[in-house]
Amino acid sequence: MAARCPALLLSAPASNQGKTLVSAALARAWRNQGLTVQAFKCGPDFLDPMILHTATGRPVYNLDLAMCGADDIAARLCQAAQESDLILVEGVMGLYDGSPSSADIAARFQLPVALAIDASGMAQTFGALAAGLFAHRPELIPAGVIANRIGSAGHGVLLRDSLPTDIPWLGALQKQEALALPERHLGLFRADEIDGLEQRIAQAAALLTESGPLPLPPETVFAPLPPANNVQQLLAGKTIAIARDEAFCFIYPANLDCLHALGADTIFFSPLHDEALPAGIDAVWLPGGYPELHLEQLGSNQAMRTALQQAWRQGLPILAECGGMMAVTDSINQQPGFGLLPGNCSMQPRFQGLGVQFAELPEGRLHAHTFHYSSLETALTPYAQAITQRGKPGEVIYRHGSLTASYLHFYFPSNPAAVARLFAS
């Protein structure tokens, strides 16, 4: 049967409006009111969900019509509606940016939309901007507006009074350096790197609720779960070692769920800190992250280099994605890597790949995402090549012995059987 739950998609006119801080503040404010909040993130982002996980205390899943697909989104929203008191979705970029966009998700699943608008340097134009964003697609359900980075309480009054009567005012956050979230080349810092993140979220939530508890967003009716495609336990009895530390941290929670649904046991290890792989494993997954920020530590871990090379020589399936692939090359910026993949990576001043792509492998078709600033020089012949959403050539995939490596971050639920073949081959 259908499930009903208050729901909200928070978007903005553009990137860098403070959506993640506002989303975290909203989530924490509702959590402080005793509600179980399930947060989601539009797009294939890894970093914003870490912030929202801190705010809600729950894993944060991705919603992307291209990478995840409509059925995957519908199933996750319906399940969340059954298990939570409130659903909060953080958009990506501006409301209408991208194809598909946050607005496409809001319209398709009837999610009420709230806007976070950076109001610094703005007065009555605030209301016109909000009204125009909602009028651009009249089928969107306006849930309200939050003014971010205001200069004073009086500034907030000007902004509030500029809104049309049919667009609710949800509050404001005054500009404070103590609330800002630090960024680097791939986006926000990891949640565990941000000093005082808990205090920043708590303070922002308190500012939003200065005038009283936050009202609940409108209820949304979520259709029943689509008929489940029974996932065969093709990895039953298999144990997969997953790299997870400061350098390897880009892991979709849905990917872990998928491995477990396939019957696999998972165990984490640190290529930076550990000297050996976990015992009794059947495969290794090196996800993306920031190996370029830990080159000295990575290159000096000779014991892990030996362990990974031994696993490769023994034929253990190894999947290395983006930062994971960088780490297994001969070098990154002329600093030694783990030496499983002949080639050298170097960081570039601009991003070298961005967007959702689709990979046709002998194991099956997998949806994926790419976003990287490094480039790879290798004499290896590509094993396969992904295509972009526009059908153009995308990232290449290499196979070197039992190693499969690419700049792609695969979304495992897009084809669990293919994932099982990758890890069981």
> 3-222 — its CATH code?
3.40.50.300
What is d(CA 126, CA 129) in angstroms, rounded to the nearest whole number? 5
* Closest-CA residue to 116 (of 178, 171, 61): 171
pLDDT of residue 248: 97
pLDDT of residue 226: 64
CATH superfamily for domain 239-424:
Class I glutamine amidotransferase (GATase) domain (3.40.50.880)
pLDDT of residue 196: 85
pLDDT of residue 180: 77
Q: Is 322 a catalytic residue?
A: yes
394 touches 305 (CB < 8 A): no
pLDDT of residue 314: 97
Phi, psi (rounded to 5 degrees) for 360: -95, 105
Phi, psi (rounded to 5 degrees) for 104: -65, -40
Over its length of 425 residues, how does the chain's per-residue pLDDT go in tens digits? 789 999 999 999 999 999 999 999 999 999 999 999 999 999 999 999 999 999 999 999 999 999 999 999 999 999 999 999 999 999 999 999 998 999 999 999 999 999 999 999 999 999 999 999 999 999 999 999 999 999 999 999 999 999 999 999 999 998 887 777 877 666 778 877 788 899 999 999 999 888 788 899 999 999 887 665 678 999 999 999 999 999 999 999 999 999 999 999 999 999 999 999 999 999 999 999 999 999 999 999 999 999 999 999 999 999 999 999 999 999 999 999 999 999 999 989 888 888 999 999 999 999 999 998 899 999 999 999 999 999 999 999 999 999 999 999 999 999 999 999 999 97
Instruction: Point out the catalytic residue in the list 78, 249, 322, 345.
Output: 322
pLDDT tens column, 88-99? 999 999 999 998
What is d(CA 96, CA 186) in angstroms, rounded to the nearest whole number? 22
pLDDT of residue 212: 81
The answer to whether the pTM exceeds 0.85 is yes
pLDDT tens column, 264-305? 999 999 999 999 999 999 999 999 999 999 999 999 999 999
Q: In a 10 Å sphere around its CB, with 0-12 CB exposed, 13-18 middle and 19+ buried, how is residue 129 labelled?
A: middle
pLDDT of residue 191: 79
Residue ranges of domains in the chain: 3-222, 239-424
Structure tokens given for 116: 């976070």
pLDDT of residue 333: 93
Whether 239-424 and 3-222 are alike in CATH topology: the answer is yes
CA distances from 284 to 118, 258, 272, 277, 395 (A): 43, 16, 15, 9, 21
* Closest-CA residue to 395 (of 338, 350, 356): 356
* Closest-CA residue to 54 (of 260, 205, 172, 219): 205
What is d(CA 361, CA 383) in angstroms, rounded to the nearest whole number? 9
